[in-house]
Amino acid sequence: MKESIEYKVFAKIKKAKRGTLFFVDNFAAFGNIDTVYRALNRLVEKDEIDKVTNGIYYRPQIDKIIGKITPKIEDIADAIARRDKAKIVPTGAYALNRLGLSTQVPMKIVYLTDGSARNIKVGNYTISFIRTSPKNVAAIGKISRLAIQALKSIGKENLRSKEIEQIQNTLMKEKISYLEHDLRIAPVWIKEIIRYSLEKLKNNEQG
């Protein structure tokens, strides 16, 4: 008996780890986009998978206590970036939150990207990708790129010594090679903050 597109779609989803994000494009080999959309939406109706936003789906992880675990915003953004082969970096209030400088998670989460600009609605949140020049997303360290954007968001004139100390301590968790790379592309006033952590890390490594 010929397998339905819905069966093929779900079979592929079940082979992946729970929580993996899928795009409609991932199932293009099974039929045209409209047919795949209908198959995915039927699976949502059957409670086999969940819909993150238009065109993005996942089979949720299940926790014994809290139930379904929804994907994190950064996981969704990273998945979109991988699909689009684009570089992204959190900025503004979200960068401050990710770095531990703020407890507030903004309702509009902004990423700089060298890919396409777009807004994506996820529950009560909006993920906004703002196109920028490649140099603004050239940092490679997960921590150091957050630090650069957080510092830019605060501004040199508004930066307090307590925040500098907190950022420098957090930068100590970054890889030395990443810090060395990102130091070269950071604004001059931010270089000094990164350099302190880099030199301290190197000294610790040398014993």
Q: Which domains does the chain have, with CATH numbers?
A: 5-68 (1.10.10), 86-205 (no CATH)
Distance separating alpha carbons of residues 185 and 40, to the nearest angstrom: 43
- Tell me how far CA of residue 159 lies from CA of 34, 112, 155, 193, in angstroms: 51, 22, 6, 11
The residue written with tokens 């301590």 in the block is 169
- pLDDT by position in tens, the chain (length 207): 357 999 999 999 999 999 999 999 999 999 999 999 999 999 999 999 999 999 999 999 999 899 999 999 999 999 999 999 999 999 999 999 999 999 988 999 999 999 999 999 999 999 999 999 999 999 999 999 999 999 999 999 999 999 999 999 999 999 999 999 999 999 999 999 999 999 999 998 876
> Comparing C-alpha atoms, which of 23, 33, 31 is closest to residue 13?
23
Q: Contact 112/159 with Cβ under 8 angstroms?
A: no
Number of H helices, E strands in the chain: 8, 9
